């Protein structure tokens, strides 16, 4: 097939400057709600992670009240991260990409804003419910049923506006980021409604519940968040480097193989399920080596002449580090499902290391990269207010090293734990003591991420106040 | 790749593949699982599993509400995967039958603490309550968080209560006081002690008896078609 027979865009083709400003302005309030709420939930969620982690230094820390017991605060941490930050950030960046790439104004900004308000309210109720002991108990799906209903309908409000925006696009050719955004928009309601119906409304019986909960958690992260993060990476790396994407065939290969095989898996090797289910998960996860290699090759070819430029731009720096972390996380997942490895690593800190790297290292960094680009532009497209570069650097390095410390500590600690667990001569108490060094080191990582988040929030607040001052001054001059 | 409807169709097919193989397929196979009498050992007509007693059922709610499953699994892996059985966490692997009466089913995905699938065989309610109140009272250096909010500290009036926790220094309450479990703690202990996966099913046979030490023939318990190891 020649290039002409397959005329997809090879580079994110920018709309004319004036149109871009108008498009960004149409996204202003909805995106401010999605991103502002998202980063606040991320901060709170990471703070919960820090509290949970501190309990490994002293189990008596905050032990007297039921609200802060490890099991609840851990569930609240995951929930704030996945639903408070993950979904809104994915939706926000997705909506913006659909607008920019389709050269269309955002459809129904008011509807999106209503959806955002309900979503954030539901997350707040859900977190309080979890801390009060009303969680469902399913990992990654802890919010009680009355909250999932609100979440589902507010998601539909937001995502439908995205699909309408896509439908109204002026640019007929599609760029890979659009496939990824639409994939993530479409994936979430399906898995979320399946999990809500079959786990909460009409619970299935016995281990079927676990099967569905594992499938849901795996699809939520690998596909929904994975697609959203990759959409941003596919857009920003070529755009900010000023080079076309090397190959859209490779991008298509990565997209379809990830959709097909990335959605299988997430079930531990020794689970009490029929072995065909477990084996299909292993096969699917191993086959995600195809999208892994396709994405790696595509971006290497795109960027190999400009590797120095990757560090020059803040969006680019966050985005390419996110890409590298995605590749490492995907590789770890493939290695981790091989039966000989999973016998050692299942139920240890090894999968938790993967969780941290995927959600903080890949997803959050990709979203931050996008936010640093998008937020100033939708605030004022003619003269985007500037981020304070000192705070940006502090945020980047603290987050980067925080994630790296947590990841390496949990990875090494998890491997050691798995190897010792496999030898019955070590008692369980001995093994637990062995993992403590790693767990305590990961607290340092969490602390770095929290401090980095504080710098980011400060920067965000400064940016907003600078913008508001400017607007106010302008209005006063016009009035005078 | 430029047509919106084709993109949606492709995504639909990919999603449907995943849904059919991980939701519908398993449901067709496991959805109508019923308690069984088809066991290797035990009196004929014995049924497995049996519903939880009421207090254990209430305790499962406490287990869920406090997120115990974020540190404890309730599943024993087969003998060739990990050392679960050699560690004494179970005599056989867990199967789908073991969870038929659980709601919700909380298999857990991390072992910060030991597996609890058969903890009812290893611990009585008093030991569970002590561990809930102060894990280090029984396991020095334990990293399990204490759960003092499941207990009441009361002034002893008259004779000490029979239910009071038997704590030694340095964990004992001040003289004249005693620690009493609240109903939630009792229910949780009832749940934890109710956890045991017995019922030797054909897909999960008991361990072969070591033939050397006793003279009992190993084949008396193990099924004839069990694998060599």
- Count the residues in chain A: 480
pLDDT value of position A13: 59
Residue B211 confidence (pLDDT): 55
Q: Residue A7: what pLDDT?
A: 40
- Beta bridge partner(s), residue B178: B154
Which of the residues in chain A have pLDDT under 70? 1-16
Backbone φ/ψ region at A48: left (φ over 0), alpha (ψ -120 to 50), beta: alpha
Q: Which residues of B touch A432 (CB under 8 A)?
A: 112-113, 141-143
Comparing B87 with B169, the larger pLDDT belongs to: B87
How many C-beta atoms surround the C-beta of residue B49 within 10 A?
A: 18
Contact assignment for A339 to B81 by CB distance below 8 Å: yes
Higher pLDDT, A415 or B201: A415
pLDDT category at B226 given cuts 50, 70, 90 is very low
Query: What does the pLDDT read at residue A2?
Result: 34
Residue-level pLDDT at B15: 95
B11 closest CB neighbour out of A8, A186, A272: A186
Selected for mutation to probe chain B from A194, A347, A431, A442 (highest B CB count within 10 Å) is: A347
The pLDDT mean for chain B works out to 86
Average pLDDT value for residue range B82-93: 89
B19/A194 CB distance under 8 A: yes
Name which of A466, A465, A447 is nearest A57 in CA terms. Answer: A447
B11/A259 touch (CB, cutoff 8 Å), yes or no: yes
The pLDDT score that the predictor gives to residue B212 is: 52
A138 in contact with chain B, both atoms CB, cutoff 8 A = yes
Q: Which residue of A has its CA nearest to B144?
A: A59
| A166 neighbourhood in chain B, CB within 8 Å | 4
Q: How far is Cα A318 from Cα A232, in angstroms, rounded to an integer?
A: 11
Q: pTM above the 0.90 mark?
A: yes
Q: Does the distance separating the beta carbons of B14 and A260 come in below 8 Å?
A: yes
Q: Is B31's CB within 8 Å of A204's CB?
A: yes
pLDDT, tens only, B141-199: 899 999 999 999 999 988 888 889 988 888 899 889 999 999 999 999 999 999 988 87
CB of A194 within 8 Å of a chain B CB? The answer is: yes
The whole-number pLDDT of residue B82 equals 85
Chain A residues touching residue B203 (CB < 8 angstroms): none
Whether B71 and A72 lie within 8 Å, measured CB to CB: no
Q: Which residues of B touch A180 (CB under 8 A)?
A: none
pLDDT score, position B229: 45
Say if residues B156 and B179 touch (Cβ distance below 8 Å): no
Residue A91, helix vs strand vs coil: helix
pLDDT confidence of residue A5 = 34
Contact A6 B1 (CB under 8 A): yes
Question: B209 or A20: which carries more pLDDT confidence?
Answer: A20
| CA separation, residue B214 to residues B14, B86, B209, B218, B227 (Å) | 57, 19, 9, 9, 21
CB B59 within 8 A of CB B106: no
Q: In A, which residues are within 8 Å of B30 by CB distance?
A: 205-208, 211, 273-274
* CB nearest B4 (choices: A166, A215, A432): A166
pLDDT greater at residue A284 or residue B48: A284
Integer Cα distance of A133 and B61 in angstroms: 9
User: Which pLDDT score, from 0 to 100, does residue A35 have?
Assistant: 96
Which has the closest alpha carbon to A111: A168, A151, A150, A160?
A160
With an 8 Å Cβ cutoff, are B105 and A207 in contact?
yes
pLDDT at A15: 62
**pLDDT over 60 (residue B79):** yes
- The sign of the torsion formed by the CA atoms of A35, A40, A41, A46 equals positive
Say yes or no to pLDDT of B208 above 80: no
CB contact under 8 A, B8 and A182: yes
């Amino acid at each position: 097939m020649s290039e002409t027979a397959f005329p997809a865009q090879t580079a994110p083709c920018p709309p004319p400057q004036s149109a871009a400003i108008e498009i960004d302005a149409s996204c202003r309030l909805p995106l401010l709600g999605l991103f502002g709420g998202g980063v606040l939930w991320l901060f709170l969620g990471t703070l919960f992670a820090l509290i949970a982690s501190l309990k490994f230094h002293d189990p008596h820390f905050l032990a007297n009240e039921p609200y802060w017991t490890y099991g609840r605060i851990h569930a609240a941490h995951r929930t704030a991260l996945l639903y408070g930050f993950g979904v809104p950030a994915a939706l926000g960046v997705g909506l913006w990409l659909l607008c920019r790439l389709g050269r269309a104004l955002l459809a129904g900004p008011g509807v999106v804003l209503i959806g955002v308000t309900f979503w954030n309210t539901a997350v707040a109720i859900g977190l309080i419910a979890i801390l009060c002991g009303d969680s469902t108990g399913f990992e990654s799906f802890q919010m009680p049923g009355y909250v999932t209903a609100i979440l589902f309908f507010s998601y539909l409000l937001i995502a439908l506006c995205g699909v309408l925006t896509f439908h109204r696009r002026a640019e007929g050719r599609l760029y890979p980021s659009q496939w990824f955004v639409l994939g993530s928009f479409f994936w979430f309601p399906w898995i979320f409604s399946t999990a809500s119906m079959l786990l909460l409304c009409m619970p299935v019986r016995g281990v079927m519940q676990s099967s569905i909960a594992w499938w849901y958690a795996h699809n939520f992260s690998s596909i929904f968040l994975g697609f959203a993060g990759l959409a941003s990476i596919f857009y920003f790396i070529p755009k900010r480097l000023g080079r076309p994407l090397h190959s859209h065939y490779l991008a298509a290969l990565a997209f379809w193989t990830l959709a097909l095989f990335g959605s299988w898996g997430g079930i531990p090797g020794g689970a009490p399920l029929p072995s065909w289910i477990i084996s299909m998960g292993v096969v699917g996860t191993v086959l995600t080596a195809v999208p892994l290699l396709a994405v790696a090759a595509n971006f290497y070819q795109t960027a190999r002449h400009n590797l120095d430029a990757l560090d020059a731009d803040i969006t680019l720096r966050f985005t390419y580090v996110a890409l590298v972390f995605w590749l490492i996380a995907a590789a770890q997942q493939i290695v981790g499902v091989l039966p000989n490895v999973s016998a050692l690593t299942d139920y240890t800190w090894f999968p938790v290391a993967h969780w941290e790297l995927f959600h903080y290292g890949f997803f959050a960094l990709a979203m931050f990269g996008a936010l640093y680009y998008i937020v100033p532009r939708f605030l004022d497209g003619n003269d985007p207010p500037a981020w304070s570069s000192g705070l940006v650097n502090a945020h980047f390095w603290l987050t980067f090293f925080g994630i790296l410390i947590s990841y390496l500590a949990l990875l090494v600690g998890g491997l050691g734990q798995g190897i010792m667990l496999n030898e019955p001569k070590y008692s369980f108490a001995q093994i637990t003591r062995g993992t403590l060094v790693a767990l305590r080191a990961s607290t340092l990582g969490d602390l770095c991420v929290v401090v980095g988040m504080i710098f980011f929030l400060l920067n965000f607040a400064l940016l907003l106040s600078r913008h508001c001052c400017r607007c106010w001054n302008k209005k006063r001059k016009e009035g005078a | 790749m430029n047509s919106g409807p084709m993109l949606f169709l492709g995504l639909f097919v990919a999603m449907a593949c995943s849904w059919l193989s991980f939701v519908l397929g398993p449901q067709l196979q496991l959805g109508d699982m019923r308690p069984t009498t088809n066991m290797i050992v035990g009196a004929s007509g014995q049924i497995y599993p049996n519903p939880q007693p009421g207090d254990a059922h209430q305790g499962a709610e406490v287990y869920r509400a406090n997120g115990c499953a974020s540190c404890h699994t309730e599943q024993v892996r087969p003998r060739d995967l990990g050392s679960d059985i050699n560690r004494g966490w179970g005599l056989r692997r867990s199967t789908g039958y073991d969870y038929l009466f659980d709601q919700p089913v909380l298999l857990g995905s991390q072992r910060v603490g030991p597996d609890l699938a058969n903890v009812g065989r290893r611990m009585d309610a008093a030991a569970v309550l002590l561990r809930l109140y102060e894990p280090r009272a029984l396991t020095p250096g334990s990293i399990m968080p204490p759960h003092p909010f499941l207990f009441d500290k009361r002034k002893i009036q008259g004779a000490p209560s029979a239910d009071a926790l038997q704590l030694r220094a340095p964990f004992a309450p001040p003289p004249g006081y005693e620690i009493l479990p609240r109903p939630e703690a009792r229910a949780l202990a009832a749940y934890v002690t109710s956890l045991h996966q017995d019922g030797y099913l054909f897909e999960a046979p008991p361990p072969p008896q070591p033939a050397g030490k006793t003279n009992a023939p190993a084949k008396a318990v193990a099924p004839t078609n069990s694998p060599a190891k």
